[in-house]
């Protein structure tokens, strides 16, 4: 049995996807550069969960490092690649666009080229709802997405295009998954829900950029991990939305739900809306239902309850994380 290479294995989605694969009996080869974009204690916690499994191997590797990746492809029989390594976050991409290009574009190119050289045919590539900026709602996979509003979205669009090129030229089977606002336990501390939980619990001001009526199609991480694994099936080249597929939830409503779970009142401070952000995201998920037999199973309320429970259980060290 070969190995499934999961890049970004210590990341939020990568950790949960790897864990699900391990539970199914797969051999998982995890890589992550363990960068300090956010507090590395979260990545170390996730990695500790994965290292309990005997069928998991981990290497600290940056996917932008072609030489290091080459060694892994030579040492292990890789049967598929799930590329979840990425620089994420819209606002941060304006501050250091080069880092986003290196990881999201050059890193993806390195993986595609090594797959070609070593006869690995299947990749699942993580993309983002951010590429849909300015498109009519709900977002469908056949909409033109040629005007990204941030270096982050542009780098993800670049990775999608590279993947198509390698499919066209070399017959690689690539499933591009556009994720919609993933949330859940042990998530990224730059995500709104993580910040809101921490700020409300600690009695700090809750900073909201805009009037709070901007809305997101929140999707629980377990549903995303399950859909990612389903996308390992042979599909050719397909772009598939993985989102809640429900009416988008406003930031103000999200805050109210977190207030109820914590039993505490938020002190909200509204700031100017950021020009690189999106007003609303909303996924059309008929294609995921048809090709993957996938639909989300965890509601926003249930997912938030699980997330708050994890936060409270780990509050002793999570309170030290900067958001």
Domain boundaries, the chain: 3-181+218-245+282-297
For residue 240, what are the β-bridge partners?
A: 177
**Burial tier of 317 (Cβ tally within 10 Å: 0-12, 13-18, 19+):** exposed
The candidate with the shortest Cα–Cα distance to 267, out of 207, 223, 322, 323, is: 207
Residue 60: how many other CB atoms lie within 10 Å: 12
- What are the backbone angles phi and psi of residue 22, rounded to the nearest 5°? -65, -40
- Please state which of the four CATH numbers 3.30.300.340, 3.10.20.30, 3.40.50.720, 3.40.190.10 is assigned to the domain occupying 3-181+218-245+282-297: 3.40.50.720
Give me the pLDDT at residue 245, please.
84
pLDDT of residue 247: 83
Report yes or no: 178 and 140 within 8 Å, Cβ to Cβ.
no
**Is the alpha carbon torsion for 37, 41, 42, 43 positive or negative?**
positive
pLDDT for 323? 82
Neighbours of 110 (CB within 10 A): 20
152 counts as catalytic: yes
Question: Which residue, chain included where needed, has tokens 């996807």?
Answer: 17
- Catalytically annotated residue among 152, 166, 193, 237: 152
SS3 at position 321 = coil
Do 104 and 115 meet the contact criterion of CB atoms below 8 Å apart?
A: no
**Helix (H) / strand (E) containing 27:** strand 27-32
For CA atoms 229, 234, 239, 240, the dihedral sign is: negative
pLDDT value, residue 15: 98
Give the C-alpha distances (Å, rounded to integers) separating 110 from 68, 117, 163: 10, 11, 11
pLDDT averaged per 10 residues in sequence order, the chain, 323 residues: 95 98 98 90 96 98 97 98 89 86 96 98 96 91 86 93 98 98 95 96 95 95 98 98 92 98 96 81 96 97 98 94 87
pLDDT at 276: 65
């Amino acid at each position: 049995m070969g190995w499934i290479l999961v890049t970004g294995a210590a990341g939020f989605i990568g950790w949960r996807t790897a864990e699900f694969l391990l539970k199914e009996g797969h051999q998982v080869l995890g890589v992550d550069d363990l960068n300090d974009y956010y507090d590395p204690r979260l990545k170390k916690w996730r990695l500790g969960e994965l290292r309990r499994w005997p069928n998991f191997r981990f290497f600290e590797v940056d996917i932008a490092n072609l030489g290091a990746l080459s060694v892994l492809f030579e040492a292990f029989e890789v049967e598929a690649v799930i590329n979840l390594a990425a620089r994420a976050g819209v606002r941060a991409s304006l501050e250091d666009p080069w880092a986003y290009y290196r990881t999201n574009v050059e890193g993806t190119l390195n993986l595609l080229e090594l797959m070609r050289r070593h006869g690995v045919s299947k990749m699942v590539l993580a993309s983002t709802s951010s590429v849909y900026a300015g498109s009519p709602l709900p977002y469908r996979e056949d909409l033109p997405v040629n005007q990204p509003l941030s270096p982050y979205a542009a780098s993800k669009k670049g990775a999608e295009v590279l993947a198509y090129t390698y499919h066209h030229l070399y017959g690689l089977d690539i499933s591009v998954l556009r994720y919609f606002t993933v949330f859940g336990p042990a998530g990224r501390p730059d995500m709104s829900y993580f910040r809101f939980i921490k700020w409300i619990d600690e009695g700090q001001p809750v900073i909201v950029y805009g009037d709070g009526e901007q809305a997101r199609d929140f999707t629980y991480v377990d549903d995303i991990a399950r859909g990612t694994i389903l996308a390992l099936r042979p599909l050719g080249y397909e772009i598939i939305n993985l989102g809640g597929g429900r009416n988008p939830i406003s930031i103000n409503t999200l805050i109210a739900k977190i207030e109820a779970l914590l039993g505490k009142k938020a002190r909200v401070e509204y700031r100017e809306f950021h020009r690189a952000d999106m007003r609303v995201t909303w996924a059309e998920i008929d294609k995921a239902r048809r090709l993957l037999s996938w639909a989300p199973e965890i509601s926003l309320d249930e997912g938030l309850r699980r997330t708050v429970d994890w936060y409270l259980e780990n509050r002793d060290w999570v309170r030290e994380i900067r958001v």
